């Protein structure tokens, strides 16, 4: 519909389709078996087209990682601005698991994260971005929550702890195929930590501009 930028729009749409295909392949086949041929077939483009957008496999992977981080449905506590009823600490922490770590998007990212540990090139290309994301997530939590102890640094530590736990839970699923046990751990954890955190803004209730 846009007369100008048609080419550019098409390009970004193709790139997005490729990133989606990479994500799907990472989830189903893992990092090693996510080859450019397979991704091209999955995305419905030719190998040449893929290499036009992403010259190397590494470009493809880093772009997908950044796309995942950007789209991050699993950005911690993004619901901070939502209606009051959904802002209980318990519910928000459960969301970090259900909508955060226990998703295909995170599992795809996990493949890249694990590969980063042994791939210096990948690490140097994504490390900064990842730390920036981590910093942004920390700011979100600091803005949305305060510690019952009064120590504001404790919010960051506890939230990072939550992030570690849910990441570890994804791996735990390899040990235990009982979803109820996983859920039990999560419930116990929430019961343990949520008394230590309190949503901010109890004094300023009406800033959810409905525009």
Residue 124 makes contact with DNA by CB under 7 A = no
| 47-86 positions binding DNA, by CB under 7 A | 47-49, 51-53, 55-58
Q: Which residues pair with 147 in a beta bridge?
A: 197
Scored b (16 or more CB within 10 A) or e, 140-175 reads bbbebbbbeeeeeebbbebbeebbebbeebbeeeee
With CB under 8 A as the contact rule, the residue among 148, 160, 199, 201 that binds a second copy is 160
Q: Is 32 helix (H, G, I), strand (E, B) or coil?
A: coil
Residue 187 makes contact with DNA by CB under 7 A = no
Residue 41 makes contact with a second copy by CB under 8 A = no
Minimum distance of a second copy from residue 186's CB (angstroms): 9
CA pair distance 105, 91, nearest whole angstrom: 21
Residue 1: which of DNA, a second copy, none does it interact with, CB under 5 to 8 A by kind? none
Residues 6+ apart with CB under 8 A from 96: 74, 76, 77, 162, 163, 166
The size of the interface with DNA (CB under 7 A), counted in residues, is 27
Residue 45: which of DNA, a second copy, none does it interact with, CB under 5 to 8 A by kind? DNA
Q: Which residues pair with 108 in a beta bridge?
A: none
Residue 118 makes contact with DNA by CB under 7 A = no
Nearer to a second copy, 17 or 28 (CB): 28
């Amino acid at each position: 519909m846009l007369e100008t930028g048609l080419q550019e729009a098409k390009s970004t749409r193709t790139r997005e389709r490729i990133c989606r295909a990479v994500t799907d392949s990472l989830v189903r086949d893992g990092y090693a078996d996510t080859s450019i041929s397979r991704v091209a077939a999955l995305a419905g483009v030719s190998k040449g087209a893929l290499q036009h957008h992403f010259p190397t496999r590494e470009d493809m992977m880093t772009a997908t990682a950044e796309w995942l981080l950007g789209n991050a449905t699993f950005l911690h506590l993004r619901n901070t601005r939502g209606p009051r009823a959904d802002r209980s600490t318990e519910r928000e922490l459960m969301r970090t698991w259900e909508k955060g770590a226990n998703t295909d998007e995170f599992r795809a990212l996990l493949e890249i994260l694990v590969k980063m540990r042994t791939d210096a090139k990948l690490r140097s290309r994504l490390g900064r971005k990842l730390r920036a994301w981590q910093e942004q997530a920390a700011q979100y939590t600091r803005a949305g929550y305060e510690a019952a102890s009064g120590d504001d640094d404790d919010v960051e530590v506890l939230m990072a702890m939550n992030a570690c736990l849910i990441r570890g839970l994804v791996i735990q699923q390899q040990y235990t195929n009982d979803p109820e046990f996983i859920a039990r751990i999560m419930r116990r954890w929430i019961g343990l930590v949520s008394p230590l955190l309190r949503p901010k803004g109890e004094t300023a209730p009406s800033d959810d501009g409905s525009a």
